[in-house]
Structure 1
Amino acid sequence: MQYRFDRFVLDLTHLRLTADGQAVDADARQLQLLGLLIAAYPECLSRQSLLDQLWPETVVSQWSLGRLVSDTRKLFRELAFCGELIETQHGRGYRLAPEVAKQLHRVAASAETGAEGETAPVAQARSAEAAAAPAPDVGVPSSQIAAAGVREGNFWRLFSAVAVVVVATALVVYLITARRIPDDGAPLVIGEAPGVRGRILWVDDNPDNNLSERRHFESRDIAIYLATNTEDAMTLLSMYRYDAVISDMGRGEEPLAGFKLMERIRGKRDDTPYFLYTIMPSKAQRQLVEQRGGNGVAVTPEELYGMVLPLFDERSASAASKP
């Protein structure tokens, strides 16, 4: 079974991806993830459902799924795909982005020649063929995946090694440069659009998970700055002024990273409004955040907007009232 969208053809039978007819080095599980989301659209798939199907009979954490989603988004960004690929439904799971679903067509291919036949929207293909044949399994035996990888393995291993060296070098240069910036409290204006109402520091090791939320704030003239770990967040807070901090709860192997960041900020007598954006917080967690100086815990985008946007509305009203 093959699907076409934008410049891409996704072959779920053989777990292959091409862009403009050229093979793409993609992890088989990334393509399985897309296949599951396509099959479920317009429904959202829960994290547990995806874990069970992508890692059958294997115990893995939800961070593995978050990393897989992030890596899949990154793969398509590097292939110059513009727009959202996978939607994060906070508190529920993940869904194929509607803009991708609108472009998605099923491709009929000849088994002998591989020639493409007529295409039809996913919704039409699903309704037309569901009665005639069961949906094919997106899984492929590991031996078949390994055999396909051998053909291009040498080239892509070399390509990957070079890419790692380039990225590592760029990261070192960035870290060295960032720490040479004087701690003079100067406003952060690099790349910032004119006329912003304020700034938010967003701390999350998977920033793509919050793409739609960040766009919502930016559409209201609020600048967003990102940090993926506690140390970078503390460095930025020591150099620049922000109107709010939004953080996830767990990062990497630290399930309480967001809570510990809040304690470090308050320990420096920094009273910047601090909000946790997380999944299914317990009542005890909410109470502890309030007791230790946090300003709120949000689960849904609407809850987050309701907590954070009034800060900027108050600032705008105050500025307007000044002579």
Structure 2
Amino acid sequence: MYISFDEFSINIQQLELIIKQQSIPIDERICLLLRLLIENYPSHCSKQLCLESIWPDTVVSDMSLSKLVSDARKIFKQAGCEVAIIQTVHGRGYRLSQELGRQLANQQLTPVTATLASETYVTDRLTDDRKADNTSLKSNFTGIRQKLDKLAHEWPRVSTILFSIAVSFIVLYALLSTHSFDRYLTASHEGHSVVDEKAIVYSESADAIGRVLWIDDHPENNSREREFLRGKNIGVYSTTSSREALLLISLYQYDVIISDMGREEDAIAGLKLLEKMRSQGVEIPFYIYTLNATDELIAKIASSGGQGVAVDSEGLFRQVMTHFDTE
């Protein structure tokens, strides 16, 4: 049975992966992982469930699962598949990405009994049928051409309207983004600030006890943790890249930095950010929030000037809250 997405298809019975109409040779365990995530969507799959399903009756560590997920992402990217495939749920496991989940919800699973050769044969037959019905096709093509001519005539006006709408949305998003709106409000007017900078702090209350900068390329995975900190009267600001984080740190004051470990194809992006901060003399307390924490990772973060590593929200809060006066 094939399950088809926009950029690839997977045969969940024969464990075959098709990307851009090409059969991709991959470890069958990657297909097993994808099948497990598809069958359980929208729920996530715990690490234990993944280990038991992919390596039955075998003792393996969490690192084997992490490596399998990393290999899967790399194979899809090398094959030209741009859409995100697997979403990490910190402290809990993995889930099919939201984009693939939406595609999955919009289709019905249909068994595909034809092989790729059969599909080619069917395509050829359809081509022959279209040639046989030449009179009808000419009539249809004439109507389509007239519509295309009309669209081409009106396109400059339509494209201008669409472009204006797109620019408006981009400007609105930029103004409402973290810090950007603050800078807009405090822009100078004839040498004087329109609004007092000290009175405006976006995304935190006037009596906030501190600020946290959170770096994660999938911020939706830690929304509950961020809401918890805001509930403790702590301002929480989010960004998705180390480059943006370094820029924000140079412009604003933060009391604690929280970062994921791996980001995109860089498995140690969080560690690199920590080392870059310390090399620049930035001594803000730094914590790694990740799915797996080995003794080696904890030791490396400590030797690089970090304050700790957490794998669940309870451990994270226990460490981070020591930097704030909540009494």
- Which residue number corresponds to residue 265 of structure 1? 277
Gaps (5+ residues) in structure 2? 11-34, 55-67, 78-82, 97-107, 120-161, 187-196
> Aligned in 2, Cα 1:247/1:43: closer, same or farther, shift over 3 Å?
closer
Aligned counterpart, 1:92 = 93
Change in CA separation of 1:276 and 1:14 when aligned onto 2, cut-off 3 Å: closer
* Structure 2 CA distance for partners of 1:269 and 1:34, relative to 1, 3 Å: same
Aligned equivalent of 1:311: 323
Would you say 1:170 and 2:170 are equivalent positions? yes
Distance 1:142 1:229, change over 3 A: farther
User: Counterpart in 1 of 2:155?
Assistant: none
The offset of 1:36, in angstroms, is: 2.4
2:251 equivalent to 1:239: yes
Q: Secondary structure of the residue that 1:270 maps to in structure 2?
A: coil
Please show how residues 111-130 of structure 1 align to structure 2 within 5 Å: none
- Structure with greater proportional helix content: 2
Cα deviation for residue 45 of structure 1 reads 6.5
Alpha-carbon RMSD across the aligned residues, in angstroms, is 5.2
Match of 2:124 in 1: none
Matched residue, 1:215: 227
CA distance in 1, matches of 2:206, 2:51: 44
Q: Which residue of 2 aligns with 1:321?
A: none
Following TM superposition, by how much is the alpha carbon of 1:88 offset from its aligned partner in structure 2, in angstroms? 3.0
Instruction: Report how far residue 242 of structure 1 moved.
Output: 0.8
Q: Which residue of 1 aligns with 2:40?
A: 37
Q: How far off its partner does 1:218 sit? A: 1.5
Q: 1: distance between equivalents of 2:3 and 2:300? A: 50
Letter in 2 for 1:302: E
* Residue segments in structure 1 that go unaligned for 5+ positions in a row: 1-12, 17-24, 71-86, 96-136, 147-161, 318-323
Aligned partners of 2:47 and 2:94 also within 8 Å = yes
Determine helix, strand or coil for the equivalent of 2:320: helix
**C-alpha distance in 1 between matches for 2:74 and 2:113:** 23
Q: Look up the equivalent residue of 2:224 and give its one-letter code.
A: S
TM-score by length of 1: 0.50
Shift of 1:47: 8.4
* Cα offset, 1:63, TM superposition: 11
CA–CA distance in structure 2, aligned partners of residues 167 and 303 of structure 1: 43
Amino acid at match of 1:291: S
Q: Say if 1:195 and 1:295 are closer, same or farther in 2 by CA, change over 3 A.
A: same
Please state whether the residue corresponding to 1:190 is helix, strand or coil. Answer: coil
Measured in 2, the distance between the counterparts of 1:215 and 1:262 equals: 24
Q: Which residue of 1 aligns with 2:261?
A: 249
- Residue 78 of structure 1 aligns with which residue? none
**What amino acid sits opposite 1:238 in the alignment?**
S
| Residue 281 (structure 1) aligns with | 293
Alignment CA distance shift 1:169-1:254 (3 Å)? farther
The structure-2 alpha-carbon separation of the partners of 1:64 and 1:203, relative to structure 1 and needing over 3 Å to count, comes to: farther
1:265 corresponds to which letter in structure 2?
Answer: M
3-state SS of the aligned residue for 1:60?
helix
Residue 240 of structure 2 is aligned to residue 228 of structure 1: yes
Identity among equivalent positions (%) equals 25
Deviations 1:186-242 (A, max 9, x none): 767124333322111000111111111111212211121011001100111011111
**Quick one: distance in 1 between partners of 2:254 and 2:244?**
14
Q: Give the Cα separation in 2 of the matches to 1:44 and 1:241.
A: 37
Q: Would the alpha carbon gap of residues 168 and 291 (structure 1) be closer, same or farther in structure 2, given more than 3 Å must change? A: farther
**CA distance in structure 1 between the partners assigned to 2:86 and 2:167 by the alignment:** 20
Alpha-carbon distance in structure 1 between the residues aligned to 2:227 and 2:259:
16
| Contact 1:47–1:93 (Cα < 8 Å) also in 2 | no
Secondary structure of 1:246's match? strand
Supply the distance in 1 between the matched residues of 2:94 and 2:254 (Cα, whole angstroms).
30
TM-aligned CA deviation for residue 316 of structure 1 = 4.0
Choose the corresponding residue for 2:215, options 203, 225, 231.
Answer: 203
Q: 1:273 Cα deviation (Å)? A: 0.6
Letter in 1 for 2:39: L
Change (3 A) 1:200 1:28: farther
Q: Normalised by the size of structure 2, how large is the TM-score? A: 0.50
Pair 1:14–1:59, CA change in 2 (3 A)? closer
1:44 to partner: Cα distance: 4.0
Separation of aligned partners in 2, 1:93 and 1:139: 26
| 3-state SS of 1:61 partner | helix
Contact 1:51 1:62 in 2 (8 A): no
Q: Within 1, Cα distance between the matches of 2:292 and 2:44? A: 23
Give the distance between the partners of 2:251 and 2:208, measured in 1 at CA.
19
The separation in 1 between residues aligned to 2:234 and 2:74, in whole angstroms, is: 31
The amino acid that maps onto 1:93 is Y
Distance 1:257 1:286, change over 3 A: same
- SS of 1:303 mapped into structure 2: helix
Which whole-Å deviations, capped at 9, do the CAs of 1:23-60 have from their partners, x for residues lacking one? xx99999xx88862359x697476857997xxx9x951
